[in-house]
Amino acid sequence: MSMVDLRVGPALVVPVTAAPFTGWVEATGGEITHVGPEPSGAPAREEYDAAGRIVIPAFVNTHCHTSQQLGRGVADDVDLLTWLHERIWPYEVALTEADSEISALACAVEQIRNGCTLIADPGGRHVDGMARGLAAAGIRALLGRSTMDSGEGRPAADQESTVEVLGRQDELAARWHGVGRLRFSYTLRTIFNNSDELIVATIERARALGTVAQMHVAEIPEENEHVRRTRARQRCATWSGSARSGRTCWPYTRCGSTTRRSGCWPSAAARCRTTPRPT
């Protein structure tokens, strides 16, 4: 009988599809090979006595800006647009690549300590630094670059054209997608600062790469009003088209009902994966 790499138990085991029970979890070759009320009969290279502890599946953080780890407290108690235009975007521009690496590493360590083994970063500026920090921690991650090509509020140092934005994302995708435990994700910051051309091209690139496109969607009423005023309701069907092709889009919204109330979210987009933000 082949050996087990790691045996954990006895512990309170909380599986995904069954009621909690007292038992053992075993892993070999980086994969869970046994979960049950009794250990398997195989010898184990390492055993961990988890009496009095709880063993649960790892968590997934579906919206985690690693570059903001060092900026806690700089943007508290303000509305979203003030938070972006006057606090967070200037802060992100001021970061160096080395700063982003340290921030990502610290963020990943905190996530791991709290049981997360996969995070989705919907956008930072220095993706190379972010990638190095995440790789050093060993966490699985979706990387993204903060992407804007139009609109108000962008810092002077962040004035890129649609072509420039897409070109830089393509370079990063080629450099980091599939490297170790990292995957690249094409990202869009806000509807206020993303042109239709950029949205469509981003979704097409994500689909071709076999990854997701992340975007902040319908976080505040002003965003819905902006869509109605500048694009008309039917233009939101951009995301609907991506939904029909599979789980390409990964919108981040303030709450699940906000987009439905706005009338700016197509029914087909219900097949997209959404990340609600608590109100």
* H, E, C per residue of the chain: CCCEEEEEEEEEECCCCCCCEEEEEEEECCEEEEEECCCCCCCEEEEECCCCCEECCCEEECCCCHHHHHHCCCCCCCCHHHHHHHHHHHHHHHCCHHHHHHHHHHHHHHHHHCCEEEEECCCECCHHHHHHHHHHHCCEEEECECCCCCCCCCCHHHCCCHHHHHHHHHHHHHHHCCCCCEEECEEECCHHHCCHHHHHHHHHHHHHHCCCEEEECCCCHHHHHHHHHHCCHHHHHHHHHHHHCCCCEEEEECCHHHHHHHCCCCHHHHHCCCEECCC
Q: Which tops the pLDDT comparison, 57 or 132? A: 132
The rounded mean pLDDT for the chain is: 86
Tell whether 117 and 195 lie within a shared domain. Answer: yes
Q: Which residue has the tokens 């954990």?
A: 8
Which residue segment(s) compose the domain that 227 sits in? 59-276
138-190 pLDDT per residue, tens? 999 999 999 999 999 999 988 999 999 999 999 999 999 999 999 999 999 99
Tell whether 219 and 259 lie within a shared domain. Answer: yes
Number of domains in the chain: 2
Instruction: Kindly tell me if the per-residue pLDDT of 263 is higher than 50.
Output: no
**205 touches 166 (CB < 8 A):** yes
Q: In which band, very low, low, confident or very high, does the pLDDT at 273 lie, cut at 50, 70 and 90?
A: low
Q: What is the largest CA-CA distance in the chain?
A: 68
Would you state the pLDDT for residue 120?
A: 95
User: Domain containing 215 — which CATH number?
Assistant: 3.20.20.140
Q: What percentage of the chain reaches a pLDDT higher than 70?
A: 82
Rounded to an integer, the average pLDDT of 88-92 is 94
Instruction: Kindly tell me if the per-residue pLDDT of 248 is higher than 70.
Output: no
Q: Is the pTM of this model over 0.75?
A: yes
Tell whether 19 and 88 lie within a shared domain. Answer: no
Tell whether 211 and 170 lie within a shared domain. Answer: yes
Tell whether 9 and 134 lie within a shared domain. Answer: no
Q: Rounded distance, CA 167 to CA 169, Å?
A: 5
Would you state the pLDDT for residue 243?
A: 44
Tell whether 205 and 237 lie within a shared domain. Answer: yes
Tell whether 10 and 122 lie within a shared domain. Answer: no
End-of-domain residue from the set 55, 71, 88 = 55
Would you state the pLDDT for residue 267?
A: 42
Q: In which band, very low, low, confident or very high, does the pLDDT at 217 lie, cut at 50, 70 and 90?
A: confident
Tell whether 42 and 164 lie within a shared domain. Answer: no
Tell whether 41 and 138 lie within a shared domain. Answer: no
Distance of CA 90 to the CA centre of its chain: 22
Would you state the pLDDT for residue 207?
A: 93
End-of-domain residue from the set 55, 78, 96 = 55
Nearest to 179 by CA among 134, 240, 210, 219: 134
End-of-domain residue from the set 39, 55, 71 = 55
Rounded to an integer, the average pLDDT of 10-31 is 94
Omega of the bond prior to 57 within 30 degrees of 0, cis?
Answer: no
Would you state the pLDDT for residue 209?
A: 95
Instruction: Kindly tell me if the per-residue pLDDT of 213 is higher than 50.
Output: yes
Instruction: Kindly tell me if the per-residue pLDDT of 265 is higher than 50.
Output: no
Q: Rounded distance, CA 215 to CA 197, Å?
A: 15
Would you state the pLDDT for residue 275?
A: 54
Rounded to an integer, the average pLDDT of 55-63 is 93
Tell whether 228 and 246 lie within a shared domain. Answer: yes
Tell whether 33 and 87 lie within a shared domain. Answer: no
Tell whether 27 and 77 lie within a shared domain. Answer: no
Instruction: Kindly tell me if the per-residue pLDDT of 258 is higher than 90.
Output: no
